Each structure stands twice: as structure tokens, then as C-alpha cells.
Amino acid sequence: MKQEDNISEEDKLIQQDFDSLLEEYLNTNHRKKIAIITKAFNFANAAHKGIRRRSGEPYIMHPLAVAHIVVKEIGLGSTSICAALLHDVVEDTDYTVEDIENLFGKKIAQIVDGLTKISGGVFGNQASKQAENFRKLILTMSEDVRVIIIKIADRLHNMRTLASMPPAKQYKIAGETQYIYAPLAHRLGLFRIKTELENLSFKYEHPETFKMLEDKLAVDAENRNRFYQEFSKPIDEKLHELGYKFELKARIKTAYSIWNKMSKHNIPFEEVYDILAMRIIFEPKPDMSEQAQCWMIYSALTNIYKPHPERIRDWVSTPKANGYEALHVTVMGPGGRWVEVQIRSVRMDDIAERGVAAHWKYKTGETDESELDKWLREIKEILKHPEPDAIDFMDTFKLNLFASEIFVFTPKGDIKTIAQGASALDFAFMLHSDIGFHCIGAKVNHKLVPLSYKLNSGDQVEILTSKKHTPQPEWEGYVITAHAKSRLNEWFKRQNKKIAAQGKQKIADIFAGLNLEMDNTNIVRLLNHYNIVEPQELYLRAGKETLNLDDIPRLFKPKSKNVFSRYLKIFSANGQPNENNKSKDTETAPAELVPAQRIDRKKTFILTDDRHGYELSACCHPIPGDDVLGYVNDAETVEVHKQQCPVAAKLKSSQGDRIISVRWDTHKMLSFEETIEIRGIDRKGILIDILKVISDSYNVNISRINIESNAGIFVGQFHIYVHDTEDIEHIRKDVLKIKEVNTVVRIEKKQTE
């Protein structure tokens, strides 16, 4: 019998998958280090032998899938492929990082070590673990960015196979992906992966809405294809005429992107007009710059179709901070339809698709520092002074994952990139921390402005300073960038430390005057009296003189030792406790706390009409029919949040073990106040027609109406009581039947964090 006859079908499939990985690697321009990749695969395959994923497939298929993403979709080389194949070995088996280093060298071992430290998701179950794991993720990224790239590939495969997980786990992983991994992928220039991560998160957070949008996209596919052929034909002919080698690609908005636009602008699917876009990817001619050729193609394009004057985005003259380069223009296509066209060279497209890996590929020299390199430098700076609180640290870091940037100029004309929405004070800190600390104002375009002034792209900014001036508490509200926030936090902490020391001394002096020890018992008594949790906060408030320290002598005043008189006060003549005096003169034992019934977090919690065991969160106002999740709080009550609620986003990513699946089972017993906005052409009697539809058809109560009319157009907000989202949808469809009505949308109540 031949040896291969003993190989199982499963082993053959695993080998075929690895052979396909090698083929993908051999098709790249990387040096062909087949031996070490084969060694890493054989080692990982043996280490994971007999282990299976939740889906039932052999575990080795996961590291193989991550390696496929690393080489084919991101374009990294042998070191990263080996690290991807080995990334779970130390976590899941008895092998150590030292074993990996002995077999595969220091660099691969370092990356595997970094991946092991941040395994199991960014966040653990407790706040301290969250902070530590998150810092490890960022620290390893600043040391070798390949760690986070492989981690993103790992997360992408987990998201692609998330269907095998229970709903509560899906919510946690999808929330964490949306909150951290998608912004990281965006910041590293991995646009296609970022888009897929967002769309997959949306699929599991809003399954019904996702399916509805996918179905609508499928129905409209034939019309879109017809339009695209008509739109692209003259462009194709013109580019051939200009002698370019090029590729035209149709880009369709994802369900997530469409939903995002619908939510942001309160519009239905039918009013999302930029579902289709086009990419022109050209091979540049050698005799002129890529930038000049982008503008030549732009000129040819706008001779065919008229451009929208306010929708030109020039990222070829000044690339985005994550390295993205392209020229975007929106033009009026056939049938009065706006279409966005993205013009890129092959190099620009490679960077747009593969991000940081392609950026390194095109670097021209060691001093060629990109915006991405500068960003990684900033991360190292932030890590020197991290926030002690986990959520604060995450928020501070996330500020640096901004999606939009603006470009401003120094007085000498140097161009600087800064986050959209940044203030003059943010800009001062970006130039240098000392400039920020002593900033007194700014001149923008030669006009004096306050520190809180929000900068616009193209502004020329001059910062004014004074050595006597120092940060003020309100400055924290002026800044949005992580760098400025971390520097101000650091400064205020130093100041607070001095003030707290002074406050502690004040309390010590009062205690000394009362002949009391400043021991733990007495400090706890003070904390309870002032309703303060931490001693440091007590000292700080004492130092800032926001506490009435005159309370201390009264609090520690010796009590009467006359036990007999106390006894007479408490008991009446018949020997029974005197109820009138009891509460005043005795400290009664607290009532025995009845422990709340524990929620089974593995099961779907049912939201019934009696509202038992759950509460609807005030931050996002969910009603029956909304896509929701549950969060089990300390009182074992389920807080119900909308999936898109910003508070829920934080809970999913930081308290994943408390997230549960919930399901509505209400029967139109409860009523909720909601707002619908109706727009249309004004005419006599239109309001009566609308009211008739709302109140007569559905017996819906209207609490109030705000309606305005201007130049023949009316906009009305109707505050109505409904049972669920089904009521709103019925009303929306019926009101739209009124000829003059143009749009009917539900206005989401303001979400607060």
C-alpha cells in the first residue's frame, strides 16, 4: 500500500489549502523563502492536531486562512506568513515563545509574542485587564506594525466565520470590531478590509436590515449594470484615445455604508443616489508626474460629464494621513444621476487596497517619512503617558484614529495635517507641548481668534504665547486630538498632585488640633460624610477649598456617655421601643438585601409587556421592533439598547461578557412617544389630510405638532404615540400616498453617552 493511501481526506484538504497558500506567495515579488514557511506550517499543523473550531473544521484551517489574507489581500512576506501560521500556537498549546525563537528566529518570535499578548480579543472581562490588553495591543503595534496587521487579518477571518457563534458572542465580537478594528484598518490604509469589517459587523448587529438592503441591491442590480455600461462607454473611448493602459471598476456601496447614509440623513433607500461609483486605475506614462496625469484624466472626464463644483476631493496634491492618494470628482451622468469617479494610478490603487504594506513597497529612501510614520511616532508619545482608566485610554487613543483630516498652513507656509474639528489649541499642541501650555490665542488668516476656534482646511494659523500663561480647566473642552488631551491630562495631574498634598496637610492639621490619629478608620468616616470614594479625591477637594472642613470638628465631637438617659429615650414606659425616637437616636441595621435573580447570559432574554427584569435605556430610546441588545448591569437587570447606540458600542467592546441576546415579545400593550418628520408641497388642507391618516387609520394619539411652511414647502414634526416600529412603517407608507407628501422619516431621539 502506498503511503498516501493512509492520508485522510481531511489531511488532503489541509495540504491542498497550504499548497494554494504557497502558490499565492510565489506569485508575489517577495523573496521566495519556501522552506521556512513550510516548516512553520508543519509545526503549527502538528501543534493543533486534533483540535477543532466551533464550526467543526480542523483548527489549522484558521491560521491558514489568516496567512491567505496576509499574503493575498495585504501583500506581506514570509515573516508575516510564518507569524500568521504560528499565531495561536503559544496561546493554545504547551509551546513557548522561546521554542518559537529557537526554531524560527527572533523576529517571527517577537511578532508571535505580540499576537499572544493581545489574544482573545482586545478586552478581557475586567477593567484592569481591558486597560492592560489594550495597551499591549498599541505598544506592540508601535514596535512592529505587522503585529496589528496580522491581528486585523485574524479578526477578519473570525468575522467571516462568525455565524457559528451564539448571538451574545456575535454582538460582543461585532461591537469590538466596529469600535476598534475597523478604525485601525482604516488608519493603516486597509480600506477594503475596513469596509468588509464594518459590513460584517452590521450584518450581525442588524440582520434584518442587512438582508433588506442586500435584497434591494440585488433587485436593482440589472438597472445599475445597464446604467454603468452607458456611463463608462465614452470614458473608456476617451482614455484609449489618450493612449493610456487602464482599468475601469464599478464600486457598489455596501449595505453598511447605505444604512449609515440613510441613518445620518434620515432618508429611505430610494434616496441614496451614490450607490454606484467608478474607479479609473491607470498605468502612468513615464514622461510626467502621476499627479499631473490624474488632472489630465480629470480634464478629459469633465469634458464628457459636468462636475459638481463642491464635490472635488484632491488627495493627490496632499495625501491623507494614512497614505491614501486619489482624485475624487462627482459628475452628472446620463438621466440626471450623480456618479463619483475616483482617479488613481496603479501605485495609488495598490496603497488604497493594501495600505501600509504597499506604502513600504513604494518608499524611496530611509528619510522618506510618511504621515503614517508620523502617526506611529505619536502613538509612542501617547504611550509614555497613558490614561490609568481603561475606557479613557481607549477613547484617547481612538481620537487618533480619525477618519477625516484637514490641511492647515503655518505662517511660513508649511502644510500640516490635523484632525477635522481640531481647534487652534489642538494645533498649538501639535507644534510643540510648550507652545500648547503657554498658548494665549491664535491668528487665523491674520485675524485674532480664541483658543477654541475650530480650524478649516486651508487656514493659515499663527499661535500666540506667553510664558506667564498656563492651562486652564476649560481647555479640556477645547481640544479633540489625543496628543493635546494627553498632554493636558498630564499637566493637570501634576497640578492636582500638588493641590492634593496641600489638602491632605489641611486635614492633618485639623486632626492634630482634635488630638485624633489620621488613620484609615477616621479617613473612611470622612469619605462617608462627604460622599467621596477615594482618599485622593478628598485631599484634592480639600486643597481646592470645595469642601467645608468646618464639618470635621462637629463630625468627631465626642458623644454622650450617659447610657441610662439614652435607654430612656429609646424605650417608652411600657418597655417597648419608642417609634418616634428610634430613627433619630439609634442606628438601625440595614434591611437584608434580597439578591437579584441571576440572568442566564447564554439564553435569549424575552422582552415582554410587563417590563419585568429589563429597562429601556434613556440614551437611545428603543421601542419594540428596533434592533436591540441587552446589557446585564450589577443589579442583574437587563438594560436594552439599540444596536447603533454609542453607549452600546462601548459596552459591546468593553463589557462583552455582560452582553446578551434579547427578543421583543410585546403585543401592542405599551405605547411610546416617537417623532416623524413629514416634508412636502404646501396646499390648503394638507395638514387635515395628514392628521386623518395618522389618527383615523391607526387610532394613534398625537401629543404635539410643529409645522413650518416656506416658499410653498412645508416641514412638519409630529410627536405620536405608537406601539412599535411596525406602526411607524404603516403610517409612513400611508402618509406617502398623499400626493403632495415627499418624505416621511422617523426622527431618532438624541442619543447621549
The reply to whether 91 belongs to the active site is yes
- Among 40, 47, 45, 49, which residue's Cα sits nearest to residue 94? 47
Residue with cell 485631599: 539
Reported as type and span, the H/E element at residue 91 is helix 89-92
Catalytic residue among 92, 101, 220, 476: 92
Q: Is 26 helix (H, G, I), strand (E, B) or coil?
A: helix
Can you tell me the distance from the alpha carbon of 231 to that of 238, in angstroms, rounded to the nearest whole number? 12
CA distance 718 to 444: 43
User: The C-alpha cell of 165 is what?
Assistant: 457563534
In degrees, to the nearest 5, what angle opens at C-alpha 181 toward C-alphas 178 and 182?
Answer: 60
CA–chain centroid gap for 31, Å, is 37
Maximal C-alpha separation, the chain: 113
Q: Pairing state of beta strands 628-632 and 614-616?
A: unpaired
Length of the chain, in residues = 753
Q: Which residues contact 492 (CB under 8 A, 6 or more apart)?
A: 471, 473, 476
Calculate Rg over the CA atoms of the chain: 32
68 contacts: CB under 8 Å, gap ≥ 6: 20, 21, 24
Element (H, E) at 442: strand 439-444
Question: Coil, strand or helix: which one is 685?
Answer: coil
**Partners of 662 in the β-ladder:** 605
> How does 26-51 read in b/e, with b if 16+ C-beta sit within 10 Å?
eeeebeeeeebbeebbebbbebbeee
Can you tell me the distance from the alpha carbon of 135 to that of 305, in angstroms, rounded to the nearest whole number?
50
Question: Phi, psi (5° rounding) for residue 534?
Answer: -105, 140
Task: Enumerate the H helices of 336-472 as residue ranges.
Answer: 346-354, 356-361, 371-384, 390-399, 424-431, 433-437
Rounded to the nearest 5°, which phi and psi values hold at 157? Answer: -65, -40
The single residue listed with the C-alpha cell 437611545 is 620
Query: CB under 8 Å, gap of 24 or more: what pairs does 88-97 form?
Result: 88/44, 88/48, 88/59, 88/62, 88/63, 88/119, 89/43, 89/44, 89/47, 89/48, 90/116, 91/116, 91/119, 91/120, 92/47, 92/48, 92/51, 92/59, 93/47, 93/48, 95/47
Partners of 676 in beta bridges: 718, 746
The three three-digit cell numbers of residue 407, written as one number: 490641511
CA dihedral for 213, 214, 216, 220, sign (positive or negative): positive
Task: Specify the DSSP class assigned to residue 290.
Answer: H
Place of cell 465580537: 173
Supply angle C-alpha 544, 548, 553, rounded to 5. Answer: 125
- What is 567-600 written as a DSSP string? HHHHB-TTSSB-HHHHHHHS-PPPPPPPPPPPP-
DSSP letter at 731 equals H
Task: Kindly name the residue from 10, 19, 91, 600 that is annotated as catalytic.
Answer: 91
**Distance from C-alpha of 314 to C-alpha of 327, rounded to nearest angstrom:** 5
The SS3 call for residue 325 is coil
Q: Give the H or E element holding residue 710.
A: strand 702-710
Q: Is 176 considered catalytic here?
A: no
| Single-letter code of the amino acid located at 392 | D
Active site residues: 91-92
